[in-house]
A and B are shown apart, each in its own frame.
Chain A
Amino acid sequence: EVQLVESGGGLVKPGGSLRLSCAASGFTFSSYSMNWVRQAPGKGLEWVSSISSSSSYIYYADSVKGRFTISRDNAKNSLYLQMNSLRAEDTAVYYCARVVFGWDVWGQGTTVTVSS
């Protein structure tokens, strides 16, 4: 079964850091570009970051540029999001998603809450 499972979310104070992980299974992870998307409580979807299959191309939304770092380990079938200098407005459910035509496989999401 093709599956993505996020982990690493939690409660963190403003200015703190968190590292999210996304474990892939059931497909050849190293062949696909991947993305992080977030959804603040009661709000719509916001693209956060993208990484190509070999990590050659990396992109960030302006709202997280300079604070978040996307990476992947194809040997471990894993995608990561290092989040530093967290702000209250980063509070959201964070999803990882696979890129094919459109984004066809999504994880269940992990919740990040930034609050003092």
Chain B
Amino acid sequence: DIQMTQSPSTLSASVGDRVTITCRASQSISSWLAWYQQKPGKAPKLLIYDASSLESGVPSRFSGSGSGTEFTLTISSLQPDDFATYYCQQYNSYSTFGGGTKVEIK
């Protein structure tokens, strides 16, 4: 089974900060990686698919990069609506989610 490791698990940041979240796969998943945002009591929302493709309607301040086993999600300028938990997901072999990164207000 492919394991997904996200870091950090919690991140404290201020509005306007550049934020980077990392996801590492236990084996190569090519570019079969997605990023989701989840707010309390809500379903996850797709942000990025195929490692770097921005989902329609998602603000351009979100970007994804990486391939193989190392991936990053970057928020170029954190906005108030961005405080949430973020998950990576591999879909190269079945599916596995990372443990999540909670972005908190500093």
Chain A residues in the interface with B (C-beta under 8 A)? 35, 37, 44-47, 50, 59, 61-62, 95, 100-104, 106-109
Contacts and interface: CB of A to CB of B under 8 A. Distances in A.
Question: How would you classify the secondary structure of chain A's contact residues: helix, strand, loop or mixed?
Answer: strand
Contact of B87 (A35, A44, A50, A95): A44
B87 A101 contact: no
A108 B43 contact: yes
Contact of B97 (A45, A100, A101, A109): A45
Interface stretch (B21-29, B48-56, B65-73, B76-84): B48-56
A23 B98 CA distance: 28
Contacts, number: 53
Interface of B: 1, 34, 36, 38, 43-46, 48-50, 53, 55, 87, 89, 91, 94-100
Contacts of B89: 45, 102-103
B99 A95 contact: no
A101 B98 contact: no
Top 5 A-B pairs ranked by shortest CB distance? Answer: A102-B49, A102-B34, A106-B43, A47-B95, A101-B49
Contacts of B38: 45
A101 B55 CA distance: 9
A103 B34 contact: yes
Contacts of B36: 45, 102
Contact of B46 (A47, A50, A102, A107): A102
A46 B97 CA distance: 6
27 contacts: A35-B95, A44-B100, A45-B36, A45-B38, A45-B44, A45-B89, A45-B100, A46-B97, A47-B95, A47-B97, A50-B94, A59-B94, A62-B1, A95-B43, A101-B34, A102-B48, A102-B50, A102-B55, A103-B34, A103-B44, A103-B46, A103-B89, A104-B55, A106-B44, A106-B45, A108-B43, A109-B43
